């Protein structure tokens, strides 16, 4: 089953997350980095979830990853694949797998970053098989 | 301080309705409260502690305290979704042990069926300040596909099969056939489950729980009160809770918070999984049961598929009789929150009041365990261990 266009609920950025979504609008996926403990995290936060330091910043992700797990929602107007993708940097994020045959998605598959517009026009990061 | 032996479950009630077109939400809570008090042989005036979660209408416990005319000296509206009421049992025992109340009332009710909620497949509502929402909602997380992602990973990592998961529904249906109030009373086969339509890969329609209206209530009281009542005594001997989440992006969907709440509750109770005669295990989906059984230590991690197969969860034939009322998979799932009814059926087993066809022989030790929220993102695990005295 080919993936089709689905209405994507628009994220509602707040003061803490505006930079993340501005970067997404410019075609960049950012992950959280803490300069106090050196650890990466996702979703990005002002306060580090590893050490509670406020010395956090955004780091651009390579956009390469592998599918950790997924599920194709069949009981929907437009079937779609939800997934967790583990980025090359080591953190995993919830996402969709798009622009592919939904029946051929597999755990462990290599994927790369794409952006799809949400209902507000704000692009959101998704992935497609390499 | 331990709660072991400091409190008893003295009253239980499961609301008989499965579709409450003709009742309000507050009314269902109140009818459940009344039913549990009558079961215990107590009156409203005896209640001095009240526990409820997000399904209660109004601000925390306040509107229901008002509706019920309760005079309280302790209240707690801890909400961790469907497992809340198992947490409440533990918290009530703590409050009673600390002298903060002597008779605790816990209520649950909901009307998702009358309200026409597509509980499992509807995308989560937008808005709110939850920090995770904007990083998840664009991707269409519902309930079914979150649990489905856990099942998919479990299958990949441990070789678990759809047929093994199906055995969990089969066992629940064997029990539900004896429950006249169960929504699904037909005994199903593994083939029936795996041939039912896929909702979210790899979960089929029959891997999912029912959507029902309903409610229930529990009364927890101290030893003095329990002694004064002419009812079989069910003692709380261990309880624990723990949240599990995405670990800052180090997502691991192969286990639940039961890996923390289970051992803590067993340690407090001073018993082992092998000692348990009956288990109420939260069953929003078949995969929920399988993962919790592993995480509670009834079998090794990854061996859950083998453990649940071939009727091992069926009362009378299997080693671990579970959810003998039919559970959420077949009986009911009031308010989309199955934790309270898990405790209720465990108490019925310990009292010897479960249906004779599913009654566990010499049932002196039981567990009720729940997962509330979403197994695929963040959830609250709660365990309570009870003993017949
Ligand atoms: Zn840090």
For residue B136, which residues of chain A lie inside 8 Å, CB to CB? 94
pLDDT of residue B5: 94
Q: Does the residue A1 lie in any domain?
A: no
Q: How far is A2 from chain B (nearest CA, A)?
A: 15
Cβ–Cβ below 8 Å for B140 and A84: no
Chain pair A-B, CB pairs under 8 angstroms: 122
Ligand 1 centre distance from Cα of residue A34 (Å): 5
Number of domains in chain A: 1
HSE-CB of A24 using CA atoms within 13 angstroms: 24
Find out whether B334 and B109 touch, Cβ atoms under 8 Å. Answer: yes
Find out whether A71 and A105 touch, Cβ atoms under 8 Å. Answer: no
Name the residue facing A42 among B138, B198, B249 (closest C-beta): B249
The pLDDT of residue B126 is above 70: no
Give tens-digit pLDDT for B68-98.
Answer: 999 999 999 999 999 999 999 999 999 999 9
Name the residue facing A73 among B137, B145, B248 (closest C-beta): B145
Instruction: Calculate mean pLDDT across residues B316-331.
Output: 98
**Paired tokens of A28:** 């960049």
B263 phi and psi angles, rounded to 5 deg = -55, -35
Q: Does the residue A11 lie in any domain?
A: no
Tell me the H-state helices in chain B.
25-40, 62-68, 84-97, 144-158, 162-176, 190-194, 223-228, 258-269, 286-295, 304-308, 327-330, 339-351
Residue A57: Cβ-neighbour burial (10 angstroms; 0-12, 13-18, 19+): exposed
Partners of residue A30 on adjacent β-strands: A60
Q: Does the residue A23 lie in any domain?
A: yes
Name the residue facing B132 among A16, A43, A83 (closest C-beta): A43
Would you say the C-alpha torsion B172, B178, B183, B188 has a positive or negative sign?
positive
Cis before residue B87, ω within 30 degrees of 0?
A: no
Nearest CA in chain B to A121: B138
Instruction: Calculate mean pLDDT across residues B116-133.
Output: 79
Domain extent at residue A94: 18-129
pLDDT of residue A3: 73
- Which CATH architecture does the domain made up of B8-116+214-388 adopt? 3-Layer(aba) Sandwich (3.40)
Give tens-digit pLDDT for B153-182.
Answer: 999 999 999 999 999 999 999 999 999 999
For residue B152, which residues of chain A lie inside 8 Å, CB to CB? 69-71, 107
Considering the entire predicted model, what is its pTM?
Answer: 0.97
Q: How far is B144 from chain A (nearest CA, A)?
A: 8
CB neighbour burial string for A10-46, b if at least 16 within 10 angstroms, e if fewer: bbbbeeebeebbebbeeebbbbbbbeeeebbbbbbbe
- Closest among B347, B346, B373, B337 to B109, alpha carbons compared: B337
Q: Does the residue A7 lie in any domain?
A: no
Average pLDDT, chain B: 97
For residue B126, which residues of chain A lie inside 8 Å, CB to CB? 9, 12
- The CA-based angle B322-B328-B334, given to 5 degrees, is 135
CATH of the domain at A118: 2.40.50.840
Distance of alpha carbon B39 from alpha carbon B372, whole angstroms: 27
Average pLDDT, chain A: 96
For residue A80, which residues of chain B lie inside 8 Å, CB to CB? 140
Ligand 1 centre distance from Cα of residue A48 (Å): 5
pLDDT of residue A1: 72
Report domain extents, chain B.
Answer: 8-116+214-388
* Local confidence band at A99 (pLDDT 50, 70, 90 cut-offs): very high
Name the residue facing A75 among B121, B152, B248 (closest C-beta): B121
ipTM (interface pTM): 0.97
């Amino acid at each position: 089953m080919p993936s089709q266009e689905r209405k994507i609920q628009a994220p509602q950025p707040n003061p803490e997350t505006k930079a993340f979504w501005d970067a997404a609008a410019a075609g960049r996926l950012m992950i959280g980095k803490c300069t106090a403990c050196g650890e990466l995290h996702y979703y990005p936060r002002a306060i580090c979830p590893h050490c509670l330091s406020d010395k956090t910043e955004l780091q651009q992700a390579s956009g390469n990853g592998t599918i950790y797990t997924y599920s194709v929602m069949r009981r929907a107007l437009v079937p779609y694949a939800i997934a967790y993708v583990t980025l090359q940097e080591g953190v995993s994020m919830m996402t969709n797998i798009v622009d592919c045959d939904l029946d051929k998605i597999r755990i462990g598959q290599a994927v790369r970053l794409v952006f799809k517009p949400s209902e507000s026009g704000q692009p959101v990061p998704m992935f497609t098989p390499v | 301080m331990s709660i072991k032996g400091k409190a008893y479950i003295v009253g239980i009630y499961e609301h008989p309705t499965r579709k409450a077109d003709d009742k309000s939400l507050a009314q269902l809570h109140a009818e459940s409260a009344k039913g549990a008090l009558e079961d215990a042989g107590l009156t409203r005036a005896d209640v001095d502690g009240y526990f409820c979660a997000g399904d209660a209408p109004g601000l925390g416990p306040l509107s229901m305290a008002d509706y019920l005319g309760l005079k309280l000296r302790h209240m707690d509206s801890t909400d961790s979704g469907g497992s809340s009421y198992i947490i409440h049992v533990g918290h009530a025992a703590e409050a009673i042990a600390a002298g903060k109340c002597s008779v605790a009332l816990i209520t649950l009710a909901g009307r998702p069926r009358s309200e026409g909620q597509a509980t499992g497949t509807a995308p989560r509502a937008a808005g709110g300040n939850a920090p995770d929402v904007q990083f998840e909602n664009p991707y269409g997380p519902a309930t079914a596909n979150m649990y489905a992602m856990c099942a998919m990973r479990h299958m990949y990592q441990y070789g678990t099969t759809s047929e093994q998961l199906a055995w969990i529904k089969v066992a629940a249906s064997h029990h539900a056939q004896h429950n006249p109030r169960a929504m699904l009373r037909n005994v199903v086969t593994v083939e029936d489950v795996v041939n039912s339509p896929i909702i979210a890969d790899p979960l089929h329609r029959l891997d999912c729980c029912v959507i029902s209206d309903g409610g229930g209530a529990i009364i927890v009281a101290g030893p003095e009160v329990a002694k004064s009542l002419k009812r079989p005594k069910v003692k709380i001997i261990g309880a624990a809770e723990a949240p599990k989440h995405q670990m800052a992006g180090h997502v691991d969907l192969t286990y639940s918070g039961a890996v923390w709440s289970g051992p803590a509750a067993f340690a407090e109770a001073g018993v082992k999984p092998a000692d348990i005669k009956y288990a109420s295990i939260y069953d929003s989906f078949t995969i929920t049961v399988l993962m919790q059984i592993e995480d509670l230590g009834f079998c090794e991690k990854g061996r859950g598929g083998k453990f649940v197969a071939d009727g091992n969860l069926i009362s009378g034939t299997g080693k671990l009789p579970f959810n003998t009322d039919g559970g959420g998979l077949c009986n009911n799932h009031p308010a989309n929150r199955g934790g309270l009814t898990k405790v209720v059926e465990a108490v019925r087993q310990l009292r010897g009041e479960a249906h004779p066809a599913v009654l566990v022989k010499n049932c002196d030790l039981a567990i009720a365990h729940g997962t509330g929220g979403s197994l695929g993102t963040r959830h609250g695990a709660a365990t309570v261990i009870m003993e017949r005295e």
